[in-house]
Chain A
Amino acid sequence: MTHLTQFGGMAAVLVMLQGAPTSGGVWAAFFAAHAAKFGSYFLLVALLLAVYSFLFGGLALFGRDALSERIGETARRAGIAVFFMVFLAALTLVTAAFQDNFSIFYIFQHSNRDLPLPYKFAVLWSGQEGSLLFWSMLLSTYGLVLRLRHKTDTRLFAHASVIIAGVQIFFLLLVNFAAKPFGLTQGALPPDGSGLNPLLQYPEMVIHPPMLYLGYVGFTVPFAFGLGALIMRYPGEKWIHITRRWTMVTWAFLTVGIFLGSHWAYNVLGWGGYWAWDPVENASFMPWLTGNAFLHSVMMQEKRGMLKIWNVWLVFSTFLLSILGTFLTRSGIVSSVHAFAQSSIGSWFAVFWLLTLGVCLVVFFKNKDHLRSEHRLEALVSRESSFLFNNLLLLVLCFTIILGTFFPVFHEWVVGTKVTVGPEFYNKEAFPIALLLLLLTALGPLLAWRMTSVDSLKRNFLWPALGALGVFFGLLIFGVRPWQDATHFYSALAMTLASLVIFTIASEFIRGGRVISRHSGQNLLLSIAQLGRRNTRRYGGYIVHIGVVIVFIGIAGSAFNRNVEKEMGYGDKVQLGNYELVCRSYTQEDKPNYGSEWAIMEVFQNGKQIDTLYPERRFYKASQQTSTMVANRSSLKEDLYVVYEGLNQDTGRPIIKVYINPLVNWLWIGVITMILGTVMAMMPNTLPSPAAAATRVQTVPVGAGD
């Protein structure tokens, strides 16, 4: 990118800013004139500090004398300073967006004067350069928290700090040399910017990318602890406790990010769905699955000292998949609807990915003798086995998604032509595996650690299984015909298995509640409520499972989606299901940032008006692009989803598409439940469990675990 001359740029910015000559105005003008320079310097200093933190922090790890300690401390402080430098750079870019400083090319490309203020904030992550700066800022924030908490375990945290500094160097190299957010606009200063991508001008877009990035970036921390612990041959399992907590936080962010993206797609893209199996969606799902597998298998290591190699590789894979996802987004190697993020920096990510994999392999083979299991697995029917198979299914699911995502590339290598791998492939391949996973989710909590007797399994499983069978027959009685086609079959099976999971979890809560009730004399409901406070991790986990089940129910509803499309004039009617929609009017509106066309649709049910909907289509002036604003009447039963597709150029009348999407709301309720469960699982126990009280008196431990 070529740049304006320094003084030409400064003069242009001063002319552009028309504030009064107050001291604040002068400062603002001065800042605007120098914003690009300030931002670039902040990033350069951040890079130097990260290099210092990496090199000297690494050097300090070799010694154990006072000098090494002092050097290590300077490296830690340099790591902290990286945060402030990157934060200032990000602040500079956001301020430039608020000041409409189009002398910075990135601001010119992604903002315009009439862009609403919240979206000006979102400019930071709406393009390639800004999103990498944002990534770098989040990484430095995680690094800051980690370095401030170094007293938890000085040596382990020092190792993790060096590894984070290494990753930070990569991202700072990118924003300093390959994707500069502070490049200057060439030629005369434009009066207005090109505007933000209309698809991103939606409230959730202010939250979705930060959440997703917090997830992606956050996996660097467990990776740093895992690699650090292996390098230093960390004695004991403390590192795994620390890593698990960080992984849970990160996984929760990624969950929120993924589902906010789905919600955005549902409400903005206007095709009636929330998940299209697009490569970029898949990219976020892959580390989510391996992170999920780690959160399960880590219990084996914590409780039984098993699966150490497996866990280390799950941590490594999760980080590698989050980088692979970014590579997919940026490289354009596979076609995606997220084309706005594509560029030539994919090769940087490919090199970094290979380098990271190489480091993981070298460190692993050098230290793998440190990862011996301390216990043997005693029975096939045990909690340990259920975790093993849970991990297997999650990883096969992840493999299926990787295969589907990259298959067009493989096909081109082998056969010479590209193929499309659309949603039907994933539905046919991934859904059966996901249902097996659901079955295991029902079985897992009923299995005891070490081994489970058939009697115990029968006793625990009988009532939930009968309940699920009852639900299945209930579905048949109410008209579900699983033999009709594959979609109905999977839908019925998903509902039945979902009910099985709910019944097993309910039986767990009731059983635990009964024990407390028996000991305390409280009623059963109060006792059940107390359970969560006694063992947050276990019961929080169950609530996450309930959330997953509710999500499955929401997905199962999609088997019954219906839609109709019609060109509608004044007073025209369209019928779908038991809804009748009447087009009362259609009109146009002009706003500073966009012009819009919209229809007024009255909704009737059984002859009675129940609502009025306003589906809209916007035309954004700066970017010259259109966007849909779906009108959605949402209930627990179904969504009435109305899309204004545009005007028929020949007749001048709007084309309206109406969908009935059953049970979609349950998807969002499920996600909220999952997040609540995760938060609960991260909280410390607030009431002592009877077992803990017993150990104070009785030194010989008895019992199972969670």
Chain B
Amino acid sequence: MAVLLLATTLFLGAGDDTRFRKLGHQLMCVCGCNQILLECNHVGCSYSDRMRGELVEATDRGDNDDLTLQSFVQKYGPTVIAVPTVTGFNIVAWVMPFMVLLAGTGLAVYVVRSWRGRPIPALPGGIRPATGADLDKFREQARSETDL
């Protein structure tokens, strides 16, 4: 952990994110390589060089982020944006995982609670499973006598 901590701290604070980098990572190269615009590493790619140039021009002009991204959508179609925008049907993609997580958590809590309501099954010979203080006592005994 110490090595990791040291390693972590040595490279911190060196982030050199610019607006160009930020926007360049929100766009896809449209040559068919399926890569983020700034990560397209095809030298001579007829699209990425041109698109990067257009992005530089847009940022130099002082266009805001929305305007810049919209100009790319107009020119290259909606698939040029690297992630679905938070509008219309796209909201489903952004919201669904967390909705499912919430619903699943609710369901799991409900299942646990409803199971708790079930009667304790009787063991052969009329033995009842230990609960509460008895259970804690047995656990302590197990802990002190075994490695389990």
A338 vs B135: C-alpha distance in the bound complex, in angstroms? 56
Which B residues form the contact surface with A (CB < 8 A)? Answer: 1, 3-16, 25-26, 28, 32-36, 39-41, 43-44, 77-84, 88-90, 92-94, 96-98, 100-101, 104-105, 108-109, 111-113, 115-116, 118-121, 129, 131, 135-136, 138-139, 141-148
State which of B78, B131, B146 has its C-beta within 8 Å of the C-beta of A418: B78
11 contacts between A and B (CB under 8 A): A376-B119, A407-B93, A420-B82, A424-B25, A478-B8, A479-B13, A511-B143, A515-B143, A562-B11, A636-B3, A702-B145
With a cutoff of 8 Å between Cβ atoms, the chain B residues found around residue A577 in the complex are 11, 14
Residues in B with CB closer than 8 Å to A433 are: 97, 101
Chain A residue at minimum C-beta to C-beta distance from B107: A392
7 closest A-B pairs by beta carbon, nearest first, are A646-B43, A478-B9, A422-B82, A703-B142, A377-B115, A376-B118, A400-B97
A439 sits at the interface (CB 8 A): no
Chain B CB within 10 Å, residue with most, of A270, A474, A560: A560
Contact A515/B83 with A417-B78, A471-B1 known, Cβ cut-off 8 Å: no
Query: Total A-B residue pairs with C-beta atoms closer than 8 Å?
Result: 227
The smallest C-beta distance from A531 to any residue of chain B, in angstroms, reads: 6
- A617: chain B residues at CB < 8 Å are 43
Residues of B within 8 A of A430 (CB): 97
Assess whether A378 is in contact with B116, with CB atoms less than 8 Å apart: yes
Determine the residue in chain B with the shortest Cβ distance to A451: B135
Pick the most buried of B39, B83, B109, B119: most chain A CB atoms within 10 A of its CB: B83
What is the 8 Å Cβ interface bit string for chain A, positions 479-511, against chain B (1 contact, 0 not)?
111000000000000010001001000000001
Partner of B39, one of A272, A414, A666, A706: A272
Contact with B along A695-706 (1 / 0, CB 8 A): 000000011111
What is the bound-complex CA distance between A617 and B42, given in angstroms? 11
**Is A637 on the interface with B (CB-CB < 8 A)?**
yes
* Chain A positions within 8 Å of B41 at CB level: 269-271, 628, 643, 645, 657
Min distance, Cβ B130 to any Cβ of chain A, angstroms? 9
* Complex CA distance for A531 and B146, rounded to whole angstroms: 11
CB-contacts of A640-654 with B (<8 A): 643, 645-649
Given A407-B93, A702-B141, A479:B12 Cβ within 8 A:
yes
* Across-interface contacts of B77 in A (CB, < 8 A): 417
- A611 interface hit (Cβ, 8 Å): no
Contact across chains for A689 and B146 when beta carbons are under 8 A apart: yes
Question: Is A385 positioned at the interface, with any CB of B under 8 Å from its CB?
Answer: yes
Given A377-B111, A388-B112, A690-B147, does the pair A562, B16 have CB atoms closer than 8 Å?
yes
Asked, given contacts A376-B118, A636-B7, whether A562 binds B34 with beta carbons under 8 Å apart, the answer is no
Counting CB contacts under 8 A, is A396 at the interface? Answer: yes
Contacts of B100 in A (CB 8 A): 396, 399
Q: Which residues of B contact A242 (CB under 8 A)?
A: none
A691 touches B146 (CB 8 A): yes
Beta-carbon contact of A423 and B82 below 8 Å: yes
A380→B109 contact, CB < 8 A: yes
Q: Is A335 an interface residue (CB 8 A)?
A: yes
**Nearest A residue to B16, CB-CB:** A562
Produce 1/0 per residue, A209-253, CB < 8 A to B: 000000000000000000000000000000000000000000000
Cβ contact within 8 Å between A403 and B14: no
Would B39 and A638 count as touching, CB distance under 8 A? Answer: no
B133: nearest residue on chain A (CB-CB)? A453
B97 touches A429 (CB 8 A): yes
Q: Does A605 contact B (CB under 8 A)?
A: no
Is there contact, CB below 8 Å, between A478 and B116?
Answer: no
> Which of B9, B135, B138, B139 counts the most chain A CB atoms within 10 A?
B139
Residues from chain B with Cβ under 8 Å of A531 in the complex: 147
Give Cα distance in the complex from A662 to B13, angstroms: 13
Q: Contacts A690-B145, A704-B148 known; A553 to B4 CB distance under 8 Å?
A: yes
